[in-house]
């Protein structure tokens, strides 16, 4: 995952799964995930930004 701030906007780039993966509940299919929180190199108010991302579709 890559993250950056430009013009006061946060841009996140993450690779998507070639095949959506069923969630634990089976109600959704996960398209992309950080699988937990990731501390980035992006700084906000002098502190590193932490991102937790899940992108999914409903089944």
Q: Record the pTM.
A: 0.83
Q: Which residues of 9-36 are buried (b: 16+ CB within 10 A; e: fewer)?
A: eeeeeeeeeeebeeeeeeebebebbbee
* Tens-level pLDDT at each residue, the chain (59 residues): 999 999 999 999 999 999 999 999 999 999 999 999 999 999 999 999 999 999 999 98
């Amino acid at each position: 995952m890559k993250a950056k701030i430009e013009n006061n906007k946060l841009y996140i780039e993450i690779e998507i799964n070639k095949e959506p993966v069923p969630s634990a509940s089976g109600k959704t299919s996960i398209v992309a995930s950080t699988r937990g929180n990731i501390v980035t190199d992006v700084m906000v108010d002098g502190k590193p930004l932490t991102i937790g991302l899940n992108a999914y579709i409903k089944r």
